[in-house]
């Protein structure tokens, strides 16, 4: 069985004010040709199909075209919603779509506590495809009154345990969560940061699956080699991804436990680069790199320049961002980096912030009120999505 694993398309996304839709149309065309050329049996789309719960019209049209073309080519599609999608909206009409070979995951819990399952078949027998759209503990609690579900890890464990998985058959799961194996994941700025790592799920929760097709992290990477993978986003969605090599993952599944990866590369219509220096140095860089005229550029000026935007735009028509770095006042001082946020709990970070702003520590009462609010956030996020 040949499965193309996609995720984090974020159709309709805007990066630094630029709508990426034309780039996305181009990328999807390349993906489509690759799927046909490689004769994949199915495409797995592991969440963040759109960039927002209510995507713009053009984004919906782009997705409609992509899915129709795959369907015309006889390629089945399995799709789940990510934290950016409205799972409810996405799965509208999924019962009818299913008859066409387009399987869109219903919200978790639509048919009880088990993960939604579909069955494919080839010469090796059955291949079960499980689909788990993005879940927070608050989405699953109602099924597990007797279990304390404090973390995303608890929630995922409960959901997997509630699902009857025949380990003698081949099992594939689509999920959109932060799954962590033995080493630290590679992260970037276009992902949503969840302070304190509350959303972390241990890879061992998914040990009964032969392959887990993940979405959420935008850099292609294995969580567990040949078993659990983030395919990454097909395009770069922030300047922190300049050095990432995006790819398209095609997964070959032979008999039970036989999983291998083919990585394919697509050419983005516009590359992404950073230039840094004085105006004179940047002119030099532009001369040495003619390709930068077609690239998205972040320019970091190390001196004050009058009318910098129009001067830079002459050099780089796709200029996305201008930053200044001089006088020791770099942007890094005011931003919380991934490194600083990792391993610190949200309460601790807020206490630090509160003390800095107010010049005094929080009272016990204020602390209790804040903790209470933090525990409500996952629920509030879900309600936001449903608006
Ligand atoms: Mn994403």
Distance CA 88, CA 65 (A): 21
Token pair recorded at residue 283:
């002119």
Ion ligand 1 — residues with CB < 5 Å:
8, 48
Q: How far is the CA of 11 from the centre of ligand 1 (A)?
A: 10
pLDDT digits (tens, 9 = 90+) for 87-135: 999 999 999 999 999 999 999 999 999 999 999 999 999 999 999 999 9
What pLDDT does 382 receive? 65
pLDDT digits (tens, 9 = 90+) for 36-54: 999 999 999 999 999 999 9
Q: Per-residue DSSP letters for 33-91?
A: HHHHHTT-SEEEEES--BSSSS--HHHHHHHHHHHHHHHHTT-EEEEE--TTS-HHHHT
Q: How far is the CA of 355 from the centre of ligand 1 (A)?
A: 33
Q: Reply yes or no on whether the pLDDT at 316 is more than 90.
A: yes
Q: How confident is the model at residue 375 (pLDDT cuts 50, 70, 90)?
A: confident
- Segments making up each domain of the chain, as ranges: 2-264, 272-333, 345-385
Q: Reply yes or no on whether the pLDDT at 354 is more than 60.
A: yes
Distance CA 150, CA 140 (A): 11
Q: How far is the CA of 280 from the centre of ligand 1 (A)?
A: 38
Q: How confident is the model at residue 386 (pLDDT cuts 50, 70, 90)?
A: very low
Q: How far is the CA of 215 from the centre of ligand 1 (A)?
A: 7
Q: How far is the CA of 208 from the centre of ligand 1 (A)?
A: 25
Q: How far is the CA of 187 from the centre of ligand 1 (A)?
A: 11
User: How many other β-carbons are positioned within 10 Å of the β-carbon of residue 222?
Assistant: 14
Q: How far is the CA of 360 from the centre of ligand 1 (A)?
A: 37
CA gyration radius, the chain: 23
Q: Reply yes or no on whether the pLDDT at 72 is more than 50.
A: yes
Q: How far is the CA of 50 from the centre of ligand 1 (A)?
A: 9
346, 195 contact by CB (below 8 A): yes
Q: How far is the CA of 83 from the centre of ligand 1 (A)?
A: 7
259-271 CB burial, b ≥16 within 10 A, e <16: bebeeeebebebe
What pLDDT does 339 receive? 63
What pLDDT does 361 receive? 83
Topology, domain 2-264: Purple Acid Phosphatase; chain A, domain 2 (3.60.21)
pLDDT digits (tens, 9 = 90+) for 149-163: 889 999 999 999 999
Mean pLDDT value across residues 181-187: 84
Q: How far is the CA of 49 from the centre of ligand 1 (A)?
A: 8
């Amino acid at each position: 069985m040949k499965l193309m694993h996609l995720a984090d398309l974020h159709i309709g996304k805007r990066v630094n004010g630029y709508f990426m839709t034309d780039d996305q149309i181009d990328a999807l065309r390349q993906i489509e040709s690759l799927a046909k050329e490689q004769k994949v049996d199915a495409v797995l789309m592991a969440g963040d199909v759109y960039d927002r719960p209510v995507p713009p019209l053009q984004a919906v049209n782009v997705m409609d075209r992509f899915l129709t073309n795959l369907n015309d080519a006889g390629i089945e599609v399995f799709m789940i919603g990510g934290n950016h999608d409205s799972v409810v909206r996405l799965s509208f009409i999924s019962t009818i779509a299913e008859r066409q070979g387009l399987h869109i995951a219903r919200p978790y819990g639509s048919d009880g506590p088990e993960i939604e399952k579909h069955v494919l078949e080839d010469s090796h027998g059955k291949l079960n495809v499980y689909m788990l759209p993005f879940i927070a503990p608050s989405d699953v609690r109602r099924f597990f009154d007797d279990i304390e579900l404090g973390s995303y890890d608890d929630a995922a464990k409960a959901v997997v345990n509630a699902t009857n998985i025949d380990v003698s058959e081949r099992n594939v799961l689509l999920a959109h969560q932060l799954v962590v194996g033995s080493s630290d994941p590679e992260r970037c700025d276009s992902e949503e940061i969840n302070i304190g790592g509350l959303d972390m799920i241990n890879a061992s929760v998914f040990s009964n699956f032969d392959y887990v097709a993940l979405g959420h992290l935008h850099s292609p990477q294995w969580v567990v080699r040949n078993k659990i993978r983030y395919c990454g986003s097909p395009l770069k969605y922030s300047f922190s991804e300049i050095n990432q090599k995006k790819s398209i993952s095609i997964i070959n599944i032979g008999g039970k436990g036989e999983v291998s990866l083919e990585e394919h590369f697509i050419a983005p219509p516009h590359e992404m680069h950073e230039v840094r220096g004085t105006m004179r140095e940047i002119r030099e860089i532009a001369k040495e790199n003619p390709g930068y005229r077609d690239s998205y550029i972040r320019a970091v000026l190390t001196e004050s320049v009058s009318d910098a935007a129009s001067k830079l735009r002459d050099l780089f028509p796709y200029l996305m961002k201008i930053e200044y770095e001089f006088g020791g006042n770099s942007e890094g001082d005011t931003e919380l980096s991934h490194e600083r946020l990792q391993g610190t709990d949200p309460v601790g970070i807020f206490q630090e912030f509160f003390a800095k702003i107010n010049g005094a520590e929080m009272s016990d009462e204020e602390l209790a009120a804040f903790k209470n609010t933090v525990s409500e956030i996952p629920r509030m996020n879900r309600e936001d999505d449903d608006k």
